A and B are shown apart, each in its own frame.
Chain A
Amino acid sequence: MTGMAGMTTPGPPTEPPEAERAVDCRGLSHRFGDHLAVDDVSLWIAPGEVFGLLGPNGAGKTTTIRLLTTLLPLRQGRARVFGLDPGRRPMRVRRLLGYVPQELSADGSLTGRENVMLFARLFDVPRAQRWERVTEVLAAMELTEAADRVVAGYSGGMVRRLELAQALVNRPRLLVLDEPTIGLDPVARSGVWERITELRAATGMTVLMTTHYMDEADALCDRVALMHRGRLRALGAPAELKDQLGPGASLEDVFRHYTGDHLGDAGRQGGLRDVRRTRRTAGRLG
């Protein structure tokens, strides 16, 4: 795995000065009622980095993403996206983002092309370039043949690739992917990852993603953060984290080490709500 795109130095990026960071959080917290979903999270992401947010169901990954993508109000702590405050300048921040939420979110009653075209319009892609740009991202996601079919008939993997096309049509500087491969079969999974790797090589775009698959995180991410019960438990390059644990450790072992046996928890971790959401993610559009 290479480091930042375009550079030959492998391994994690060096800490950039504050003004150049793609994402910068300090003491970020968020409460739902009396439940602290994100608890004092501080991290930065360098431009061009692929950063993975890992953790069991209910760890607070999606909530962190929703804080950064202007969906939740920033009440405690500080967040910056390319130097902009998502609370104060939401429109400016949204312009820089491509976002694929955890649920399969393409509009099932439209065709693939119509779905992408809508996003091209919403991001002010100039009229003269729109058709070309839409065709281009659809082709990059290998959806040219299916482009004019209604999305309700797409497979889960196709929907995910379509969502990537939607997220990429505005050429975002930060691509935010919330469990982009959940519920996909192995072939569809590797298809999605190939597309992302290619894109990254071609554009040097920054990627923030969450996943439950440790092998993916290991192979794709420059650095990962492990979350558990809203808190960051570990942060670093996968190789670093594995080395810290001892020789021969896998990222899966690291995950277990920091999160414990979360399945036995009686608290709100991995409650019905989380499972339901995960199930919905895995389902098809109908």
Chain B
Amino acid sequence: MSAVPDAPRAAWAEAPVPPSWRRLPDRVFALCLVELEKLRRDRTELFTRAVQPALWLLIFGETFTRLRAIPTGPVPYLDYLAPGILAQSALFIAIFYGIQIIWERDAGVLTKLLVTPTPRAALVTGKAFAAGVRALAQAVVVLVLSALLGVALNANPLHLLGVAAVLMLGAAFFSCLSMTIAGLVLTRDRLMGIGQAITMPLFFGSNALYPIELMPHWLQTVSRFNPLSYEVDALRGLLIGTPAHLLLDFGVLAGSVVIGVTAASALLGRLAR
């Protein structure tokens, strides 16, 4: 046969192995590239998925702005809400990413990836990155819509870059949370159930819709352990100019991502057993 040359047999599988410190970044890069290729192919989904956040902004936002039921100080409620919806849309995308992992397991794709010399952490990070990119694409839609509705957004490029980073970190964390649960429950149905059960408490138990100070005391405590609160805090600070704790926010989000990647990659192997 002509296509596979009769190479010296010893050459097979004896290519030089790059140093192990390069393996993780190399693999993460390869997997992110693949995720981008996939995203490029189903762009339509980006828009259909933007319907839900759009409805939140339009219906919930407009209504509560009229009602003036939620005291947000000098900031109009719609402006206050927009960063919350941004975080929400990223959360809703990311929290079901574990389903993709389970689907890939069922399809045999994951099994095969697990038999390549690729650290589990790289596989998880690739997915987390994909969740981030998806969240960003949707964020563009939500931001444009907010601007159209008259939200006074800060268009400073540096701030927008910060917004992108916060959204990536947030989506990465929640996708890791989802993959961790996938590694625990192992089936799509159970993951769907748990995903649905935790999304609403995460969302309502954060400052996405109302200031934390309005919550009962116990819920305030809970929301301090909710990474979504830090995500929204940073987004609001960057986009609307409300007082924010950017350093703390970034720190908590980055720390959560590290913990999330570690937990999800420790459990990933269970999916192939």
**Interface on A for B, CB 8 Å cutoff?**
6, 66, 69-72, 91, 94-97, 99-110, 114, 118-119, 121-126, 136-137, 139-140, 150, 163, 166, 170-173, 198-199, 201-205, 280, 285
The proximity string for B residues 21-60 relative to A, scoring 1 for CB distances below 8 Å and 0 otherwise, is: 0010011011101100110011000000000000000000
Q: What is the CA–CA distance of A106 and B269 in the complex, to the nearest angstrom?
A: 19
B158 at the interface (CB under 8 A from A): no
A140's nearest neighbour on chain B, judged by CB, is B3
Q: Which of the residues B4, B27, B118 comes within 8 Å of A198, measured between beta carbons? A: B4
- Min CB–CB distance B183 → chain A (angstroms): 15
How distant is the Cα of A122 from the Cα of B33 in the complex, in angstroms? 12
A139 in contact with B3 (CB, 8 Å)? yes
Contact B26 A136 (CB under 8 A): no
Where the two chains meet, the residues of B that have a C-beta atom closer than 8 Å to any C-beta of A are 1, 3-7, 9, 11-13, 15-18, 23, 26-27, 29-31, 33-34, 37-38, 41-42, 106-109, 111-118, 269, 272-273
Rounded to whole Å, the gap between the CB of A242 and the closest CB of chain B is 30
| A69-B115, A122-B117 known; A198+B1 contact, CB < 8 A | yes
Q: Which residues of B contact A106 (CB under 8 A)?
A: 109
Given A122-B27, A136-B3, A71:B113 Cβ within 8 A: no
Indicate if the CB atoms of A109 and B38 lie closer than 8 Å: yes
Q: Say yes or no: B115 contacts A110, CB within 8 Å.
A: no
With A71-B114, A71-B273, A203-B9 known to touch, is A109 a contact of B41 (CB < 8 Å)?
yes
How many Å from the CB of A33 to the closest CB on chain B? 12
Establish whether residues A125 and B15, one from each chain, have CB atoms under 8 Å apart when the complex forms.
yes
Provided the pairs A99-B112, A171-B15 are in contact, do residues A110 and B38 lie with their beta carbons within 8 angstroms? yes
Known: A105-B109, A203-B12. A123 touches B41 (CB 8 A): no
With A69-B115, A203-B7 known as contacts, the answer to whether A171 contacts B30 (CB < 8 A) is no
Which of chain A's residues have a CB closer than 8 A to the CB of B115?
Answer: 69-71, 94, 97, 99
- B13 contacts which of A66, A71, A171 (Cβ < 8 Å)? A171
Contact A166 B112 (CB under 8 A): yes
What is the CA–CA distance of A198 and B3 in the complex, to the nearest angstrom? 10
Q: Are B272 and A71 within 8 A (Cβ)? A: yes
- Evaluate contact between A203 and B41: CB separation under 8 angstroms: no
In the complex, chain B residues whose CB is within 8 Å of the CB of A204: 9
- Complex Cα spacing A5 to B37, Å: 40
Asked if B111 and A101 make an inter-chain contact with CB atoms under 8 angstroms apart, the answer reads yes
CA distance A110 to B37 in the complex (A): 7
Instruction: Give the distance in Å from the alpha carbon of A91 to the alpha carbon of B16 in the complex.
Output: 15
Alpha-carbon distance between A105 and B18 when the two chains are bound, in angstroms: 27
Q: Is the CB of A95 within 8 A of B13?
A: yes
